[in-house]
Amino acid sequence: MSQMEKIAALIVAAGGGTRMGGGVPKQFRDLGGRPMLAWSHEALRTHPAISTVLTMVAADQIDVARSLLPDAQVAPGGASRRESVAKGLRQLALEGVTKVLIHDAARPFLSHDVIDRVLAGLASADGAMPVLAVADTLARNADDVLGEIVPRDGVVRVQTPQGFHMQAVIAAHAAWPAEAEATDDAQMVRRLGGRVALVQGDAMLEKITYPDDMAGADMRLAWETRTAMGFDVHRLEDGEELWLGGVLIPHHQGLSGHSDADVALHALTDALLGTIAAGDIGTHFPPSDPQWKGAESGQFLQHAAKLIADKGGRIDFVDLTIICEAPKIGPHRAAMVARIAELLQIDQSRVSLKATTTERLGFTGRGEGIATQAVATVRLPGGAQA
């Protein structure tokens, strides 16, 4: 790479998703726990050769995009894909960009391998783009009757990101007739005599266009299911409040500990951290740290849930067993389930809470303390990208 080289990515995300329908433009819809747009943005942002990622969104979606991708550089796109690209190119040219990768937000599952292939193709051409072979027979539809067969030899399916030297793609956009539409940028560069190299595309990169494509994208995510457990004990003492499952319970004793000692939320926090192998509650909130003295344990649980969400994960189900002789848990079960569901932002049907005694045996049986076992099951996106 030369000293002066500056490679940018330009994501076009200003479309209305009319073929998809359903109100919210598809690039802002949830896909595996994060907006579709976030997937390719992350892949481009983390590629070592790319120094800038500019995302074009509809003018009235700027605030939405900023809230979904707080660190992203976003700008208003245009009325067509071509206009959105042209506006982005103008901005990137001012930033001294020498090469640009133009990518559809509607192609979320972009790997670094594809980016590498496009950049390699660009080294010896004006542009480079990923393509796939056509596997199906191609035919014309003549009023819902089979028409002419279209030879598929030498025909490829074109994907993005399409990479270009900035001068070549800016000249192509400038020369393109204002009234003509172009479905991509490579055809514009070619029309001006530019050479666009073809590199191997990726089946994961299929564009999400029609409603059925969302289901296909979910399947491509290849969710990985993980289950982990947590266990915790706190001592019952006079003069303490009894917090259990995020609920204050009237009792003659309460649990003692550095925080509010909510043994149920602690066990559940450990179970959730376990699903992403992120240590335990003490790793994140050391008892030696005075800031957690008397802390409400709901924040520990929310922290674990956020770490899972940051990985694109979803909490499928949590199950707790509170082990104590007293108080009776039954009367408080509904309130605890509601509070845990609220803290985790999941439906109450995904929270199970049970209780048992130990038949007066052991420390729980003698009323010296309360224990909780918790199990959490989460799904993490596994197949698409880390």
Ligand X SMILES: C[C@](O)(CO)[C@H](O)COP(=O)(O)O
Ligand Y SMILES: Nc1ccn([C@@H]2O[C@H](COP(=O)(O)OP(=O)(O)OP(=O)(O)O)[C@@H](O)[C@H]2O)c(=O)n1
Residue 78 is a binding residue for ligand Y (CB under 6 A): yes
Residue 37 or 228: which CB sits closer to ligand Y? 37
CA-based nearest residue to 347, from 337, 356, 361, 359: 337
Q: What are phi and psi of 310, to 5 degrees?
A: -60, -25
DSSP letter string, 217-275: HHHHT-EEEEEEEEEEEEEEEET--EEETTEEE--SEEEESSS---HHHHHHHHHHHHH
Single residue of 1, 59, 79, 123 touching ligand Y by CB under 6 A = 79
Single residue of 134, 156, 158, 307 touching ligand X by CB under 6 A = 158
Extract the tokens encoding 286: 């050391």
Q: Which stretch binds ligand Y (CB under 6 A): 77-85, 197-205, 281-289, 357-365?
A: 77-85
Q: Is 183 annotated as a binding residue?
A: no
Residue 160 is a binding residue for ligand X (CB under 6 A): yes
Q: Rounded to an integer, what distance in angstroms lies between the CA atom of residue 223 and that of residue 218? A: 8
Task: Indicate the SS3 state at residue 162.
Answer: strand
Encoded one letter per residue, x for contact with ligand Y by CB under 6 A and - for no contact, window 87-106 reads -----------------xxx
- Site residue total, ligand Y (CB under 6 A): 22
Q: Rounded to an integer, what distance in angstroms lies between the CA atom of residue 4 and that of residue 97? A: 9
Torsion, Cα 326 331 337 340, to 10 degrees, reads: -50
Residue 149 is a binding residue for ligand Y (CB under 6 A): no
Beta-carbon neighbour count of residue 175 at 10 Å?
A: 12
Residue 159 is a binding residue for ligand Y (CB under 6 A): no
Encoded one letter per residue, x for contact with ligand Y by CB under 6 A and - for no contact, window 176-215 reads -------------------------------x-x------
Residue 14 or 114: which CB sits closer to ligand Y? 14
Contacts to ligand X by CB under 6 A: 81, 104, 158-160, 183-184, 207, 209
Annotated binding residues, written as ranges, equal: 232-234, 258-259, 266, 280-282, 356-359, 363, 366
Q: For binding to ligand Y (CB under 6 A), which residues are involved?
A: 12-20, 27, 56, 77-81, 84, 104-106, 207, 209
